[in-house]
Amino acid sequence: MTWEISAGVLHESEHARRHAKFFSYRAIALTGLYRSYPPVGPDTELEHIHGQIALEAPAILDQAASELWVEDDGFKFLYNQGKSALENYQSRPMLKGYFHPYLQRHDPARFEPVRQRYEVRIAALDAQIAALQPA
């Protein structure tokens, strides 16, 4: 939703929305980011798998929420008790990191293909990190 101010009143504007969309596409084209847009990589693949598992087995999220509620004050601050665990997962990106370990433990086999595809890259990064560590 895009908003603009007209005569001192803030309101949604179709013109402002189209204008913002045009300039965001233009910025992507000018910066050369269009080659990598939309983003694809292990994070987006993992996020997709997490989302699928959450939709297929929302009871996992309920269990995780009950455990996290007891253990973590940060979780309590972010979690909206007026919504279900699935609704919280879908509407609050900051909570996803709390839920992901539970989703991964539920079905680790689904994450294995992504891990294998990026294993070589991860090994190269680990080697770079090790080289930067003081002896």
Over residues 31-56, the pLDDT tens digits come to: 444 444 445 566 788 899 999 999 99
Instruction: Quote the strand ranges of the chain, DSSP E.
Output: 3-6, 9-12
The reported pLDDT for the residue numbered 31 is 47
What is the arithmetic mean of pLDDT over 94-101? 92
The angle subtended at Cα 44 by Cα 97 and Cα 130, nearest 5°, is: 75
Q: What is the model's pLDDT at position 52?
A: 94
At residue 62, the pLDDT reads: 96
Residue 65 CB coordination number (10 Å): 21
pLDDT score of 5: 47
pTM over 0.75: no
